């Protein structure tokens, strides 16, 4: 039977009807009414109704950034949408005749990679999603690790540096402050402004574009500009060091790197691998770890959310 | 049916016949031939044979410090015993007529707390064992987290400080280098030698005893000596900060603190709790965590190892 996956972003909502092999049958995107919780319910309900027209579906999985409770029902906290303890599952189910589960968006994306992407065939996987922030997902022994309160796998908040950079979570020194797209952009701006010869090309690109955004940094990376590669290397080194700690805790077979910044491919993966090997506890006494790029580009959230509906109803 | 639990230490081997309620029926300790792998097999076989005399037993669980493979068969690496890729399960089973599993000692102790001790009634628990090193165990959704290669839960090797103190694992900045009994002893010696007024009592105790050992430090802690409490607070602060990171990754309901240093009770637990609250990502958006002392004193290893035999044969 088919299932529906929904991925709520800050600017748009993606929805898809997904078959039992993880293939998208039909897909639709609508604008995200991020500031308006009631309009959000209506937008998601409308999308689910249209996607399920003329199809028998097992249920809908809805992915969103934020803390979701262990019952996959309530959005406890969403950083980018005005939700606090939002009983989103109940609100959706009141207007639908199919069951709904709510899932963290990084978890949904990680599940898609585990089932149908770069983590296929493994039982123990972690995924780091390098976007505006750093998201995480942990698959342990073929199960999504959700934790006691539903908020495990927040790998961007592993603390890397005592009294380090301030993070959006209120703490200091979190991985996210060193290894996110935002951190890369900050480093690019700093390097461009520093007068360092390595910042020359970034300075030019910034001047041409009128401002520095992720696109400008990515352009300099693709040009193999030494300054852009230097800051990408630094970002990769933080990720590799974090993976060293995560391996001590979770011992995965494979680490999948996704998110916008992962488009840099081996230019990002190689410094991650080098730093990981340099920071692995008891190196030589465990098999080497596979560190690889995500296979899904845009659809991991909807495919993962749809598949997790199957898991939820198989488990119940 | 009863099960046998064995806990191999550097100086002695503890063994127990344990009933289905986790109660010890009969216990025996023998010296540990730590330097001699063949004598170790004979010592453990002899202990298991004596403990199982006149009892029907389901099997024997053998706990040892080190990396155990995911099949619970081979000791990949044991830091204190001369084992490298030792097929210990096969060697024991060749001389016994009951099945054997091998388990990491911190995992076995954590399992005992989860089943019968401070973690009873929870589904998501982590345990930190503060002894000579820092051991760890992770229970996720009522299962022991072993990871892809059997070496998950090495929580002492979470990296706390970039380019920090050298750890026995070969890396720098691991939690174990800041929060183990060895670290506490190092800090006590440094404080005593520093001329700092807070080191006065530690200096006296060291002079009386002829040398500083864990016992001297513990004596000063029980006297509420300001210097000893200061270094214990610092140790607790590292543990609390590590728990902040571990909560982001694992989201446990309860954290159990065990091992020799945990005998300090609330003198250790309170600084842990304070530092944890100060370093929790997104504080206020998740329920507060219970941080508590282990309930077992000496027998966690044998009780946990015996119980894990039941799990292994229920799961197969």
**Domain segments of chain A as ranges:** 2-111+299-315, 121-294
Sheet architecture: strand order including A57-64 = A24-31, A12-18, A2-8, A57-64, A100-104
Measured between beta carbons, the chain B residues lying within 8 angstroms of A282 are: 67, 77, 154, 157, 169-170
Average pLDDT over chain B reads 93
Cβ of B159 within 8 Å of Cβ of A122? The answer is: no
Shortest Cα distance, chain A CAs vs residue B248, angstroms: 5
d(CA B245, CA B227): 28
Cβ of B249 within 8 Å of Cβ of A140? The answer is: no
How much is the ipTM here? 0.93
Measured between beta carbons, the chain B residues lying within 8 angstroms of A160 are: 159, 162
d(CA B294, CA B117): 7
Q: Which residues between 73 and 102 in chain A have a beta carbon less than 8 angstroms from any beta carbon of chain B?
A: 76-77
- Residue A284: how many other CB atoms lie within 10 Å: 8
pLDDT at site B316: 38
pLDDT at site B151: 87
Give the burial string for B168-178 (b: 16+ CB within 10 Å, else e): bbebbbbbbbb
Residue A280 scores a pLDDT above 90:
no
pLDDT at site B283: 63
Cβ of A153 within 8 Å of Cβ of B246? The answer is: no
Cβ of A286 within 8 Å of Cβ of B149? The answer is: yes
pLDDT at site B166: 93
Q: pLDDT confidence of A85, banded at 50, 70, 90?
A: confident
What CATH number does domain A121-294 carry, 3.40.50.1220, 3.30.420.40, 3.20.20.540, 3.40.50.300?
3.30.420.40
- Interface A:B, Cβ pairs < 8 A: 154
Cβ of A67 within 8 Å of Cβ of B286? The answer is: yes
Same fold, B2-111+299-315 and B121-294: yes
Q: pLDDT confidence of A315, banded at 50, 70, 90?
A: very low
Q: Looking at A56-65, A224-233, A273-282, B168-177, which range is the least confident one?
A: A273-282
pLDDT at site B315: 45
The DSSP H or E segment spanning A271 is helix A266-279
Report pLDDT digits (tens) over B95-133.
999 999 999 999 999 999 999 999 999 999 999 999 989
Q: β-strand B24-31 against B12-18: which pairing, if any?
A: antiparallel
pLDDT at site B314: 74
Q: Looking at A13-22, A55-64, B99-108, B164-173, which range is the least confident one?
A: B164-173
Q: pLDDT confidence of B169, banded at 50, 70, 90?
A: confident
Report pLDDT digits (tens) over B200-215.
999 999 999 999 999 9
Preferred mutation among B67, B128, B240, B285 to probe A, highest tally of A CBs within 10 A: B285
Cβ of B157 within 8 Å of Cβ of A282? The answer is: yes
Q: Report yes or no: A131 and A139 within 8 Å, Cβ to Cβ.
A: no
**A3 reaches B (C-beta below 8 A):** no
Q: Which two tokens stand for residue B227?
A: 């210097």
3-state secondary structure of A15: strand
For B66, the closest chain A residue by CA position comes to A285
Among A176, A153, A140, which residue's Cα sits nearest to residue B250?
A153
Place of tokens 């550097």: B10
Preferred mutation among B67, B250, B275, B311 to probe A, highest tally of A CBs within 10 A: B250
The DSSP H or E segment spanning B13 is strand B12-18
Q: pLDDT confidence of A281, banded at 50, 70, 90?
A: low
Q: Report yes or no: A49 and A39 within 8 Å, Cβ to Cβ.
A: no
- Mean pLDDT, range A117-130, rounded to an integer: 97
pLDDT at site A316: 39
Q: Report yes or no: A281 and B171 within 8 Å, Cβ to Cβ.
A: yes
Terminus-to-terminus CA distance in chain A, angstroms? 17
**B315 reaches A (C-beta below 8 A):** no
Q: Looking at A17-21, A82-86, B134-138, which range is the least confident one?
A: A82-86
Q: pLDDT confidence of A84, banded at 50, 70, 90?
A: confident
Report pLDDT digits (tens) over B214-254.
999 999 999 999 999 999 999 999 999 999 999 999 999 99
DSSP chain B: -EEEEEEE-SSEEEEEEE-TTS-EEEEEEEE--TT-HHHHHHHHHHHHHHHHTTS-EEEEEEEESSEE-TTS--EEEETTTTEEEE-HHHHHHTT-SS-EEEEEHHHHHHHHHHHHSTTTT-SSEEEEEESSSEEEEEEETTEE---SSS----GGG-B-STT-SB-TTS-BSBTHHHHSHHHHHHHHHHHHHT--GGGHHHHHHHHHHSS--HHHHHHHHHTT-HHHHHHHHHHHHHHHHHHHHHHHHH--SEEEEESGGGGGTHHHHHHHHHHHHHH-TTTTSSPPPEEEE-S-SS-HHHHHHHHHHHHHHHH-
The CA distances from residue B206 to B31, B219, B223, B264, B285, in Å, are 30, 11, 14, 19, 47
Cβ of A170 within 8 Å of Cβ of B283? The answer is: yes
DSSP A18-43: E-TTS-EEEEEEEE--TT-HHHHHHH
d(CA B101, CA A162): 40
**B103 reaches A (C-beta below 8 A):** no
Residue of A141, A148, A281 with shortest CB distance to B169? A281
d(CA A34, CA A13): 10
Contacts (Cβ under 8 Å, ≥6 apart) of A22 = A112, A115, A116, A303, A306, A307
Residue of B244, B249, B282 with shortest CB distance to A249? B249
Among A157, A121, A119, A124, which residue's Cα sits nearest to residue A138?
A124
Q: pLDDT confidence of B34, banded at 50, 70, 90?
A: confident
Residue A31 scores a pLDDT above 80:
yes
pLDDT at site A71: 87
Cβ of B141 within 8 Å of Cβ of A138? The answer is: no
Contacts (Cβ under 8 Å, ≥6 apart) of A96 = A45, A48, A49, A60
d(CA A91, CA B230): 52
d(CA A25, CA B123): 38
For A124, the closest chain B residue by CA position comes to B148
- Mean pLDDT, range A160-177, rounded to an integer: 93
- Mean pLDDT, range A4-14, rounded to an integer: 94
**B160 reaches A (C-beta below 8 A):** yes
d(CA B268, CA A289): 36
Helix then strand count (H, E) for chain B reads 10, 13
The DSSP H or E segment spanning B140 is strand B134-140
Q: Which two tokens stand for residue A238?
A: 């933080």
Residue B52 scores a pLDDT above 90:
yes
Residue A252 scores a pLDDT above 50:
yes
Residue A86 scores a pLDDT above 60:
yes
Give the burial string for B129-141 (b: 16+ CB within 10 Å, else e): bbbbbbbbbbbbb
Q: pLDDT confidence of A129, banded at 50, 70, 90?
A: very high
Please classify residue A316 by burial: count the beta carbons closer than 10 Å to its beta carbon, then call 0-12 exposed, 13-18 middle and 19+ buried. exposed
pLDDT at site B271: 97
Question: With pLDDT > 90 as the criterion, what percentage of chain B qualifies?
Answer: 82
Residue A256 scores a pLDDT above 60:
yes
Residue predicted with more confidence, A284 or A28: A28
Residue A163 scores a pLDDT above 50:
yes
**A163 reaches B (C-beta below 8 A):** no
Q: pLDDT confidence of B282, banded at 50, 70, 90?
A: low
Topology at the third CATH level for domain A2-111+299-315: Nucleotidyltransferase; domain 5 (3.30.420)
Residue of B141, B171, B281 with shortest CB distance to A281? B171
């Amino acid at each position: 039977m088919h299932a529906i996956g929904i991925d709520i972003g800050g600017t748009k909502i993606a929805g898809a009807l997904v078959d039992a092999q993880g293939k998208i049958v039909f897909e639709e995107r609508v604008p995200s009414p991020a500031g308006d919780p009631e309009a959000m319910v209506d937008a998601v309900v409308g999308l689910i109704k249209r996607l399920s027209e003329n199809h028998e579906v097992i249920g809908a999985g809805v992915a969103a950034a934020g803390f979701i409770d262990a019952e996959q029902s309530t959005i406890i906290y969403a950083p980018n949408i005005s939700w606090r303890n939002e009983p989103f599952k109940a609100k959706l189910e009141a207007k639908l005749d199919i069951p709904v589960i709510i899932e963290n968006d990084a978890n949904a994306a990680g599940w898609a990679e585990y089932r149908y992407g770069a983590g296929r065939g493994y039982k123990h996987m972690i995924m780091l999603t390098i976007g505006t922030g750093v998201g995480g997902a942990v698959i342990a022994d073929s199960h999504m690790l959700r934790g006691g309160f539903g908020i495990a796998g927040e790998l961007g908040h592993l603390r890397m540096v005592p009294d380090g950079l301030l993070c959006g979570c209120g703490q200091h020194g979190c991985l996210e402050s060193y290894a996110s797209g935002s951190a890369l952009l900050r480093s690019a701006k700093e390097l461009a402004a520093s007068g360092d010869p390595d910042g020359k090309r970034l300075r030019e690109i910034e001047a041409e574009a009128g401002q520095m955004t992720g696109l400008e940094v990515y352009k300099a990376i693709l040009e193999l500009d030494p300054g852009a590669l230097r800051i990408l290397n630094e970002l990769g080194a933080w990720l590799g060091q974090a993976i060293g700690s995560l391996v001590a805790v979770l011992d995965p077979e494979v680490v999948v790197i996704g998110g916008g910044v992962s488009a840099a491919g081996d230019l990002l993966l190689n410094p991650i691998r080098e730093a990981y090997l340099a920071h692995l506890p008891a190196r030589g006494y465990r098999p080497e770890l596979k560190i690889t790029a995500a296979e899904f580009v845009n659809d991991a959230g909807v495919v993962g959310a749809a598949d997790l509906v199957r898991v939820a109803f198989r488990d119940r």
